[in-house]
A and B are shown apart, each in its own frame.
Chain A
Amino acid sequence: MDHLNRLRQRLLIYTFGLLALEGLACVTAYYLLDLYTSLASPLAAAASLGAGLLLALAAAYTFSKLVIAPIRALWQAVLHLSPEEQGIPAPTLDNLNFGRELVTSLTTQIYQLVSVAEQAKTENIAAAHDLSRNFVAQNLPLPLILLDTTETIKFANETAARYVGIAAQDMIGKNVYMVLDMSFPSEATFDTWLKAVKSKSATAAMSWDRVRLNVRDNHPTRLFDLAAYYNRDNPDRNQTMLVLFDHTKRYSQDDQSVSFMALSVHELRTPLTLLRGYIEVFEDEIGKNIKDPELQGFMLKMHAMAEQLTAFVNNILNVARIDDDQLELKLLSEDWSSTLKSSIEMVSLQAKVRGITLKCRIARNLPAVGIDVLSIREVINNLIDNAIKYSGSSKVIKVDAYLSQEGLVETTIQDFGLGIPTSVMPNLFTKFYRDHRNRAQIGGTGLGLYLSKAIVSAHGGSLWVRSKEGQGSTFGFSLVPYAQLAETLKQGGDQEIIRGAHGWIKNHSLYRR
């Protein structure tokens, strides 16, 4: 109310100024009369002085009636509005003789000004509570939504509007459940929580992971973590605050690649588990009684095909891991001779059912290699599987392991079948690539070589091919001796080396079994 006080002071000064002017006028009148009367008799002088005084008094009276009354009325209006002055009534303007119109208009304006000032003040207070004008709330890079006691949206910031795909003003005033259609990964949902805390607690906080926002139209589905804060006695009545942490990118990636993959793989694996189980039961319990060699062969083939299917499922998974950069290998020191033999043993059944002989030659005294056995088994499995597929009428596959001139442990798998035309060589290690000519006759997905190359590279080795059409192909891969690998990493004492699909090396203990 500073401006009112200033106005009051001004008016006071003006009033005194006017009174001083009035006094000055009186004194001047007196001196003029005095000058005139000094020429006449003292009586006349006294009379004229008295007349002058009377005139001045009359002038002062009239002046005060005419001028002071309106000023007084204005002053009273100001005092009436002043918060410091109590009990001063509003001025009565009806009995003003002079300038009533002007004073009425002025007081009206004073009252208007004050009411505008008061309104501005209350609006400022309201604005401070109104988050739509709050810079921080509005520009927070997190979707923020406030709910009142009836779960009606009281505020939604710009980020929330963009996130939900509905303008903020269209969200405000609506029930939160009408605007946000959320799916939770478990039984514990936002509404069950809110119901529970409303009846039990004064304040509560809770967060949920992987909440899905179901949106209409073709707005993309959003995935986020949700945090909610409940405060029963919030003075602004905004009881519940919701903050959304957008993880759409991360979660949808999971959903599309791993979760979809996980579900498909799960669906494949369940019948596979049973198939392998039943085959084992048959082999164990009636296999010995089957005398017909053809039926025995069928039994073996069934077994081999189930193994092949299992390997294929693992291929899909590993390709997904490599593509997501999630393949992690635990490189341990392993004896290559025994690893190779046991790996060949696992695929020998598939060769056997096709009448193919695996001829294996392993050099003596090979150094221990740094490998992730499970992954390398997949490489051997894939390469031998390919050799079997492309053997044609040839019935021999050669496997050799030796120490290369560079000091690496090299393994080759050689078939004497169809061979690879030079035109397709550049695409051989591309995902889903298969030789066009043979696509109709030879099954496969084109994942095997892509996967094998990625796995060997992740081991720090290399995979190569040499082939001549009509004469067969030789695939070879090199592995790094463990000692050399450990030397490179200068982690001599560490028994475990972790590598990713793209060659980087990690030093923590995640591993695959």
Chain B
Amino acid sequence: MDTPPAGRKVLCIEDEHFISELYTRALTKGGYRVETIADGGAALRAAQTDNYDIILLDLMVPTVSGIEILRALRGAGRVPPLKAKIIITTNLEQHDDVRADIEKQADGYLVKAELTPRELIHFLDTVK
């Protein structure tokens, strides 16, 4: 990624308002530019513009699920491939094989309860 971590654009797809509020605050302080969308369908349309460096994707979002968004963004049909890194941020516990399947398509898989906003920023700083 050419853009330095500071100023990188993050799309936060998250329907839990308190969490997106918390993340937006932390990410902004960490030098990222953040846009938050709670609705899956709207988020997918926004993500398709490929106007972001990082997409934080919650798996349980309304109208279009996170899995469907991931599939649409990372599906074989998409030409050219999306340049944004997709990081799954979920609190949903998956079967190991389901999770392995998701991880194959995404660039990272984080359990939100397992990390604080500061740790999230540390992680995103390493995503290249």
Asked whether B117 lies within 8 Å of A265 as measured between CB atoms, the reply is no
In the bound complex, how far is the Cα of B117 from the Cα of A354, in angstroms?
26
- Taken residue by residue from 247 to 273, chain A's Cβ proximity to chain B (1 for < 8 Å, 0 otherwise) reads as 000000010001001100110111011
Given contacts A273-B91, A273-B112, contact A512 B22 (CB under 8 A): no
Other-chain contact of A274, B18, B97, B114 (Cβ < 8 Å): B18
Cβ contact within 8 Å between A510 and B97: yes
Whether the pair B113, A313 counts as a contact (CB closer than 8 A) is: yes
Q: A274-B18, A278-B22, A281-B22 are in contact. Are A262 and B93 (CB under 8 A)?
A: yes
Contacts of B100 on A, CB cut-off 8 Å?
A: 510-511
- Give the size of the chain B interface in residues (CB under 8 angstroms): 23
* Contact B94–A274 (Cβ < 8 Å): no
Once bound together, how far apart are the Cα atoms of A510 and B104, in whole Å?
A: 12
A326-B109 Cα distance, complex, nearest whole Å: 19
Cβ of A512 to closest chain B Cβ, rounded Å: 7
Name which residue of chain A comes closest to B92, CB basis: A266
Q: Which of A274, A277, A317 has the most CB atoms of chain B within a 10 A radius of its CB? A: A277
Q: What residue of chain A has the Cβ atom nearest to residue B108's Cβ?
A: A513
Interchain CA distance A85-B60 in the complex, whole Å: 78
Those of A18-38 within 8 Å (CB) of chain B = none
Q: A273-B19, A274-B19, A510-B96 are in contact. Are A284 and B112 (CB under 8 A)?
A: no
Indicate if B28 sits at the interface (CB-CB under 8 A).
Answer: no
- Within the assembled complex, what's the spacing in Å between the Cα atoms of A272 and B18? 12
Tell me if B111 and A269 are in contact (CB < 8 A): yes
The answer to whether B91 touches A266, judged by C-beta atoms less than 8 angstroms apart, is yes
A268 to B113, CA, bound (A): 9
B114 and A280: CB pair below 8 A? no
Q: How far is the CB of B24 from chain A (nearest CB, A)?
A: 11
Nearest B residue to A275 via CB reads: B113
Option from B19, B96, B113, B117 in Cβ contact (under 8 Å) with A326? B96
User: With a CB–CB cut-off of 8 A, which chain A residues contact B92?
Assistant: 262, 266
For B114, the chain A residues whose CB sits under 8 A away are: 310
B111 to chain A: which residues have CB within 8 Å?
Answer: 269
The answer to whether B96 and A512 have CB atoms under 8 Å apart is: yes
Answer yes or no: B83 CB below 8 A from chain A CBs.
no
Q: How far is the CB of B28 from chain A (nearest CB, A)?
A: 13
Known: A269-B112, A277-B117, A280-B116. A254 touches B93 (CB 8 A): no
Q: On chain A, which size bracket covers the interface?
A: 20 to 34
**A275-316 interface (Cβ within 8 A of B):** 276-278, 280-281, 284, 310, 313
Main secondary structure of the interface of A (DSSP, over half): helix
Q: Bound complex: CA of A512 vs CA of B16, how far in Å?
A: 26
> Which residue of chain A is the closest to B65 with respect to CB atoms?
A186
Q: Contact between B91 and A277 (Cβ–Cβ < 8 Å)?
A: no
Complex partner residue of B113 from A254, A261, A273, A511, CB under 8 angstroms: A273
User: Is A317 a contact partner of B93 (Cβ separation < 8 A)?
Assistant: yes
Give the CA-CA distance A313 to B16 in the complex, in Å: 20
Q: Contacts A280-B116, A280-B117, A280-B118; is A270 near B19 (CB within 8 Å)?
A: yes
A89 CA / B117 CA spacing, docked (Å):
101
Query: Quick check: B109 and A513 within 8 Å, CB to CB?
Result: yes
Cβ-closest chain A residue relative to B117: A277
Q: A148 an interface residue at 8 Å Cβ cutoff?
A: no
| Interface residue? A158 (CB, 8 A) | no
Q: Which residues of B contact A317 (CB under 8 A)?
A: 93
- The proximity string for B residues 72-98 relative to A, scoring 1 for CB distances below 8 Å and 0 otherwise, is 000000000000000000011111110
Q: How far, in whole Å, are A93 and B46 apart by their CA atoms in the complex?
A: 93
Q: Which of B109, B112, B117 contacts A281 (CB 8 A)?
A: B117
CB distance from A447 to the nearest CB of B (A): 16
6 extra interchain contacts, Cβ-Cβ under 8 A, other than A266-B92, A272-B113, A313-B113? A270-B91, A310-B113, A326-B96, A328-B96, A510-B97, A513-B109
- A interface residues with partner B (beta carbon < 8 Å): 254, 258, 261-262, 265-266, 268-270, 272-274, 276-278, 280-281, 284, 310, 313, 317, 326, 328, 510-513
